Amino acid sequence: MHSRRSLGRRMGVYLLVGIFLISASVEAGLVSALGQGSESMLAQLQGSTRTPTPNEDQSEQTDTAPRFTAAYDDPDVMAMLTELNSWRIEMGLWPLHPNETLTELAVQQAEYVLSLPSIPFGGEIHIGASGEYPGQRAVAEPYLWPTYGRQDRVAIGEIAYIGANEQVAIGYWRGSSIHNSTISSTGYREVGIAALPHPYGHIYIVVFGSRPDVLPVLVEPLEGQMYLSTERYRYSDNHEVMHDVVEYQILPAAEAEPDADAWEPWSVRVDDVPTFTEEFYVALTDGERVVVTTVDPSVDVAWLPENLDLASAEEGSDAEATATAAAQITVTPSVTPTRDPDLPTALPTLTPLPSATPSPTATSTPPPTATPSSTPTISPTPQVDALLIIYNSRSLAIVNRTSANIDLTPYRLVAGDQQLPLTDWDTEFATAPMSDLPAGDCVQVWSWREPGVLSQPDECRYRRSVIFINPDQRFWAAGDFEVYRNQELITVCSAEAGRCEVIAD
């Protein structure tokens, strides 16, 4: 909710923004906004505009101590929210404010994907029932997410993951540059999360977003901190909205005008914040405009792993039992969708190959290391113009050990009725084209049931692309396989050798 009035000073436009945290039931897809608190506490501040003091009556303060309400009813969603916020704070960014509309978008897409006979290939996991991408869904009915002046300038990003739990998802996203750029984007301030049951654990859909002139402020009650957000979406400077906050101040009341002498320099985190028991108001300015954010300390919380107990204690034994049951799920992920901020989404996932003999290797133990035919340590400096294929029971990597860039597109690996064209690594997430793989760099493949990101070979300088297959399609672990260049058989690689040189053309 916004209201505007003239300040009669250098600030120009005054915006009142009421920020409400969301209580969401992801599995039902229903989300309800929580109401605001009263203004009684701030009315006692006697006009102070710099640092309001907490309630001085200690007995009364104890009686009215804030009770913290979880942003979501689902403990799996809350766990994901805390991990995302912890990641962003680790990066020096503000935590995310849960949003009802974004949550509905996430739940809708997760339910649609689950209704399909199989997980869509690549970025198609982000395409909705009408063929639309996340940004297109967001601006359409019934969501009508605000834009930055044009329909194609909408601050919406989406990532997805199917796997055991939030820890596995976070572990993969940390190792993926495309996920990393979305989660750590300064263009996003709000979030919606879906975590729905799937045979491999959960399907996670996370939708990030921002709205013009909506600048959430969150409190961290354990440390007495306040997190301020700002506007840095790439199109905000081309629209008549707040952009790049430089100062803030706490106001005594929602209708109070900021004091010209009370501004403090903006920072992501403000320490030693008074313990507010009811809603308070924070003014933020970019030097031209002012946005005032209403903060309810019982719901506008920077949820983190270390303060999650404040919410779980409120949820009761049923929620705690659900969280315990979810923690016992040990099935590892099946596919790893991802999202680029502000652009159509896509996913570096290999189309499943025809079925093959299942690999007998369990993924709960450390990967066995194949014994090389000569010495275990290979110099990273190429000694011959060859591709080096390195493999064990868990992964296969192809390293360009030639002295120049190489075209991998004519090559394919074949084992019986299975084949893996090297062009399959040419996803939109690859950081080099397979037609021009740089010297010393590699590509890699492993099962989508791995519990996290596997290490690249020591012989590889940069890993340029990763794809995933079914665990029973690791043909290199089941027996010997052949390497073809176009229709020509180049060599046969022994499953026991663990590495195989392919003389480059």
pLDDT for the residue numbered 215: 97
Tokens of 249: 């101040």
The ranges assigned to domains in the chain are 4-327, 386-503
Share of the chain above pLDDT 70, in %: 71
DSSP 428-467: TT-SS-GGGBPTT-EEEEEETT-SSPPPPPTT-S-EEEEE
pLDDT for the residue numbered 378: 36
- Does pLDDT of 490 surpass 80? yes
53-80 average pLDDT score: 66
Residue 461 to residue 403: CA distance in whole angstroms: 13
Tokens of 157: 């990003």
- Does pLDDT of 351 surpass 60? no
- Does pLDDT of 46 surpass 80? no
114 and 203 in contact (C-beta within 8 Å)? yes
DSSP 467-502: EEE-GGG-HHHHS-EEEEETTEEEEEE-TTTSEEEE
pLDDT for the residue numbered 237: 80
Closest CA to 77 of 39, 126, 28, 43: 28
- pLDDT level of residue 276 (50, 70, 90 thresholds): confident
DSSP element (H, E) containing 157: strand 156-163
DSSP conformation class of 41: H
Q: Residues near 380 by Cβ (< 8 Å), separated by ≥ 6?
A: 440, 458, 459, 461
Q: How many CA atoms lie within 13 A of 132 on its CB side?
A: 15
What does the mean pLDDT of the chain come to?
Answer: 76
The CATH number of 386-503 is 2.60.40
Q: Which residue has the higher pLDDT, 23 or 469?
A: 469
pLDDT for the residue numbered 51: 35
Q: pLDDT digit string (tens) for 389-421?
A: 999 999 999 999 999 999 999 999 999 989 999
Residue 502 to residue 489: CA distance in whole angstroms: 11
The CATH number of 4-327 is 3.40.33.10
Ranking 85-99, 246-260, 329-343 by mean pLDDT, the lowest is 329-343
Q: Residues near 177 by Cβ (< 8 Å), separated by ≥ 6?
A: 429, 431
- pLDDT level of residue 429 (50, 70, 90 thresholds): low
DSSP conformation class of 338: B
DSSP 353-388: PSP-PPP---TTSPPPPPPPSS-S---SS-SSSEEE
Q: Which residue has the higher pLDDT, 9 or 444?
A: 444
Q: Which residue has the higher pLDDT, 72 or 333?
A: 72
Token look-up 């995933």 returns 468
75-100 average pLDDT score: 96
79-89 average pLDDT score: 96
Three-state secondary structure of 210-275? CCCCCCCEEEECCCCEEEECCCCCCCHHHCCCCCCCCEEEEECCCCCCCCCCCCEECCCEECCCCC
Q: Which residues pair with 423 in a beta bridge?
A: none
Percentages of the chain per state (helix, strand, coil), in multiples of 5: 20, 25, 50
- pLDDT level of residue 122 (50, 70, 90 thresholds): low
According to the per-residue pLDDT averaged within each range, which of 48-52, 189-193, 338-342 is highest? 189-193
- Does pLDDT of 313 surpass 80? no
Q: Which residues pair with 437 in a beta bridge?
A: 406
Burial degree of 271 (CB within 10 A; 0-12, 13-18, 19+): exposed
Q: What is the pTM of this model?
A: 0.57
Q: Sign of torsion, CA 87 91 97 98?
A: negative
pLDDT for the residue numbered 419: 92
pLDDT for the residue numbered 66: 55
Q: pLDDT digit string (tens) for 224-251?
A: 999 999 999 988 887 688 899 999 999 9
- Does pLDDT of 28 surpass 80? no
Q: pLDDT digit string (tens) for 154-184?
A: 999 999 998 889 998 998 888 888 888 999 9
